Amino acid sequence: MNKRFFIFIAIILLLSACVQYKLVETGKPQLLAQAFEVEPQINWSKTAYKKIEKWTVDGPALEAITFYKGYVDGESLYTIHNAQKNLPVYRNSMTPNEIMEFFVDSLIAVDRAGYEWANFSASKATTSGLRPFKFAEQRGFRFDLEFSSANGLKYKGFVIGSVIEEKLYLICYSGEKQHYYPKYKAAAEKVVASLNLVEHNQ
Amino acid sequence: MIRFCRYLPVVVMLAFFLMSCATAPVSDVRPGQTPELESDEAGLWMHMDKIEKKLKHSDRIETDADLNQYVRDIVAKLKPELADDLRIYIVRTPHFNASMAPNGFMQLWTGALLRCENEAQLAYIIGHEIGHYQKRHSLQQWRVMRNTSSTLAFVSLATAVAGVGFVGDVASLVAVAGVFAYSRDQEREADQIGFDLMVKAGYDPLEAVKIWQQMEKEREAARDKKQFILFATHPKAEERIETLKTLAQQLTGTSGELDGFKTPYTAATATFRPQWLRDELRKRKYNASEVVLNNLLESGADPAQMCFFQGELHRLRAEEHDLKKSVDCYAKAIAHENTPAVAHRSMGLLQWKLGQKDDAVRCFKNYLEAAPDASDLDMIKAYIDELELENE
């Protein structure tokens, strides 16, 4: 084996270390935050960081389901080095209207801090259609979301959420408005419909 | 970093190319003038053209045709002979700033538009930036930098320009705006030009003084002084206020009728103000934003809207006494006939938290009456049902 081969292998290993996606297989229930189970109806690829888990098929810049798993009073949705104090903070006293505001303000704050939110820009993010929604048979809410990429490509999404035992759970499905959002919306809805609260401390 | 690497060869070539040129005296720009193809200025323009192209397609650009036309009309009023050479981009960013690139594109941030009380103040800001363009200050700065700094410093400046090619977040917009940090003398010259242009166009120059006084008040109130981007590159506000005051006083009685042109400014910006105010609050710099809101209220902005946003500020800051202040502000907003419908909703949510369930229900019902097509209609109805059930 020559030197070039080893360099090639080293690069491949380096790249694979950066991505860290895992397969989420059809029909295999997935545990979220030790609190919920969901059953995917298609294969997804997942990646996770702290309390955020992201599933995608064609890539997060095209579509993704993002799970925000169990935020307690005083926590921010994202973690940003050196800019944490500029991020909105979740409060248990928040109503669904305020949680919707907290969510979109968090996206905008991350955007302003210079961090790319999966290559999206939230500066003009808008929400609408806040309504009650059953979240794993618990009392929850749902709203719609629109935003764009930094160079103007339009995106659409929906967010569902609930506060259960003083922890905030949110699930956001979003995708490029014209093609990718509709392409996997039904699959995302099935994931949401499969949400099932599991017994604690199992 | 990837972007940096992509631009690095271009930047280094540009840097060495520019270093090989000799410093020459810079004359005022002439209408329609473009740099000679092989000049250092052409290299600078070429690079700024690339940045402008990115900016043009950024989702941060405010594209409303009427608002853009209104701003272009002010440019034409101030300096008709250069109006065709200048392109203005209204950038949705809630900080007070404006900047002029050497190739004639100007960034005007919505934070500046929010803070202007009238057209005269905006005309002063635009006139000041026209001054930089007319005197080709950025080219002068570029050459001074090249001749007085080390090669390393010069290349780092060039890479700073290259690195902002993606124009997206606030930091990169600041980098574009601040890369040509003008000397104080250049700023003074631009101030003088801005002043002269505004007076010639019939604007009251005392309005220029007011905007600096206002910015100084805002800076004093802020906990984090670093957020004031403009103060990092401009002369001290006190100096500027004194100079502009003196100039304005010298003019008294010599320039005929001068006006602030408040009515056309309000008409052109009223639709956007709620969004700009929301952006302002999203900065989470509440002490400084409080000064902005108070000033707008004092200067005659719609009291219902201002009181509502003051209430929002207190609700979001949520420090000691803020809850009570928030209720008071919403109450003041609601007392006006033209109050935004959402003021009723915000008041309802607060009353609910305070345990005033009947009041909360009443506010929610008022909200639905004022906004029967509200997109959160079902959620508000659910709140009412829940509260009424608890009251039974």
pLDDT tens, residue by residue, A100-132? 999 999 988 887 666 544 445 566 789 999 999
Distance CA B378, CA B238 (A): 53
Structure tokens at B17: 């190319």
Residues paired with B251 in a beta bridge: none
The predicted model gives A46-52 an average pLDDT of: 91
Handedness of CA B163, B164, B167, B168 (dihedral sign): positive
User: Do the Cβ atoms of B206 and B249 come closer than 8 Å?
Assistant: no
User: Do the Cβ atoms of B199 and B251 come closer than 8 Å?
Assistant: yes
A181 lies in some domain? yes
Residue B257 binned pLDDT confidence (cut-offs 50, 70, 90) = low
φ, ψ dihedrals at B284, nearest 5°: 65, 30
**DSSP letters along B170-212, please?**
HHHHHHHHHSS---HHHHHHHHHHHHHHHHHTTB-THHHHHHH
The number of domains in chain A is: 1
User: Do the Cβ atoms of A140 and A162 come closer than 8 Å?
Assistant: yes
Q: Which residues of B touch A148 (CB under 8 A)?
A: 59
Distance CA A162, CA A141 (A): 6
User: Do the Cβ atoms of B146 and B229 come closer than 8 Å?
Assistant: no
Q: Does B265 touch chain A (CB under 8 A)?
A: no
Q: Which residues of A touch B57 (CB under 8 A)?
A: 151-152
Residue A127 distance to chain B (closest CA, Å): 9
φ, ψ dihedrals at B66, nearest 5°: -65, -45
Nearby residues of A111 by Cβ (< 8 Å), 6 or more positions away: A117, A120, A121, A122, A123, B169
User: Do the Cβ atoms of B48 and B102 come closer than 8 Å?
Assistant: yes
A202 lies in some domain? no
The region of weakest confidence among A80-89, A114-123, B117-126, B251-260 is: A114-123
Structure tokens at B352: 């609910």
Structure tokens at A159: 């967010």
Domain carrying residue A20? 3-197
Q: Answer whether residue B145 shows pLDDT above 90.
A: no
Q: Which residues of B touch A132 (CB under 8 A)?
A: 378-379, 382
Structure tokens at A194: 């499969």
A34 lies in some domain? yes
Domains of chain B: 2-251 (no CATH), 263-391 (1.25.40.10)
CATH number of the structural domain spanning residue A52? 3.40.1000.10
Distance CA A167, CA A32 (A): 13
Residue A45 distance to chain B (closest CA, Å): 25
Distance CA A13, CA A8 (A): 9
A137 lies in some domain? yes
The predicted model gives A137-144 an average pLDDT of: 95
Of the candidates A93, A114, A123, which has its C-beta nearest B59's C-beta? A123
**Model ipTM?**
0.86
The region of weakest confidence among A171-185, B207-221, B334-348, B358-372 is: B207-221
Nearby residues of A148 by Cβ (< 8 Å), 6 or more positions away: A120, A121, A124, A154, A155, B59
A67 lies in some domain? yes
